[in-house]
Amino acid sequence: MTVTGISILTVNVSIHSSPELTIVVPTYNERDNIGELVSRLDLTLAGIHWEVIFVDDDSGDKTADRVREIGSSDSRVRCIQRIGRRGLSSAVIEGMMATNSTFIAVMDADLQHDESLLPKMLSVLRTDDVDLVIGSRLVAGGDNKSLQGLRHWSSEFSSKLARWILKIEVRDLMSGYFMLRSEVVAESVRKLSGVGFKILLDVLASSPRDLKYVELPYRFRSRHSGDSKLDSNAAVALAMTLIDKKLGWLLPPRVSAFLFVGGSGVIVHFAALTVLLKLSGLSFVLSQTIATLVAMTSNYIINNLFTYRDVRLRGWNWLTGWVSFTLACGFGAVANVGVASTLFREDFSWGISAFAGILVGTSWNYGVTRLYTWRVR
């Protein structure tokens, strides 16, 4: 029709309501598991209005392409592909913030989490005064035996340690399988650290109120395809999460880790200096120079493995990163000495002068290497 000379095209638009349930699945190199997981969700969630959001950290095996392939014929399957950043917890947060669903579940793509528990989780949230339902391997009826050896021991020990430090009574704090009300996410999202693997722990520790929860037992299965993404760095990631929840009001976890690594560098420096002076017969100046370079290299390696594990440098980038790190720390050392010397000449005590120099040098090292070595903005 036409109104005052303007043609208006009337189009019939079909408006669909938001799903009741969204399953958020963080992925990295899980291409071979995607189809099977979607098929299982389709069977177990019959009669429920649901969607699944795969949040992929730019997997080399083209996991995101596989998700889009399935999603092209099934609108319930969505993909968020993240470029230039990585991390399970941060991926889950992005997925949870990308939905309008009333309820949100989190599970892995490796099929170790028993999808048949999802309807029961949803039923509890629908009918009970509960904020959170946790799939637990550690309550009666649960089974954690598919975790072998060190991983089994580490999971249980980590849960006990986190419960003790954070004063949270949840039995399976290391669970990556849970369902919650969307308002719980909205209440705590700005306090979530997004560090490491354990988003459940992050949610519980960040909530402004005590959450009402239920733990439902399930049997943790063996991985369907591919390799586990949990390595020795998982312990470091957990440590950084705990540090953030206890000390985050004072220092961000990366800063705390950077300072800790810097402290270890002092030990490495003196150890190298002692060996060079005692065994090599080199002059003090040359020994001190070599020991400084050794300590800087040690700090770089440890920071790359742990502090900046989510943007870890590899190959040629590792070498160029080492160059930028040592150059930045070299300037930091000059700033340290310059500030300390200036204050000392102005009649400040040697302790205050030294502390000010260390503070300036460390701040420089952290800020510059964060921006230019690991390029974290």
Q: What is the pLDDT of residue 252?
A: 74
For domain 21-246, which CATH number applies: 3.40.50.720, 3.90.550.10, 1.10.1270.20, 3.20.20.70? 3.90.550.10
Distance between CA atoms of residues 304 and 84, nearest Å: 16
Q: What is the pLDDT of residue 16?
A: 64
Q: 135, 216 in Cβ contact below 8 A?
A: yes
Domain boundaries defined on the chain: 21-246, 253-372
Q: 215, 204 in Cβ contact below 8 A?
A: no
Q: What is the pLDDT of residue 286?
A: 84
DSSP state at residue 45: T
Count CB neighbours of 246 within 10 A: 13
Question: Starting from the edge strand earliest in sequence, which strands make up the sheet with 213-217, in order?
Answer: 77-81, 50-56, 21-27, 103-106, 178-181, 132-136, 213-217
DSSP state at residue 210: P
Tell me the two tokens of residue 49: 């209005």
Q: 25, 37 in Cβ contact below 8 A?
A: yes
Q: What is the pLDDT of residue 183?
A: 95
Distance between CA atoms of residues 184 and 133, nearest Å: 12
Tell me the two tokens of residue 343: 């204050």
| pLDDT tens by residue, the chain, 377 residues | 444 444 444 444 445 678 999 999 999 999 999 999 999 999 999 999 999 999 999 999 999 999 999 999 999 999 999 997 778 888 999 999 999 999 999 999 999 999 999 999 999 999 989 999 999 988 888 776 655 544 555 555 555 665 555 666 788 877 889 999 999 999 999 888 776 667 888 898 888 898 999 999 999 887 655 444 444 455 556 666 666 666 555 667 778 788 888 888 888 888 888 888 888 777 877 888 888 899 899 999 999 988 887 788 999 999 999 999 999 998 888 888 788 788 888 888 877 877 787 788 888 999 999 999 998 76
Distance between CA atoms of residues 32 and 61, nearest Å: 9
Q: What is the pLDDT of residue 253?
A: 73
Count CB neighbours of 334 within 10 A: 12
Q: Is the model's pTM score more than 0.75? A: no
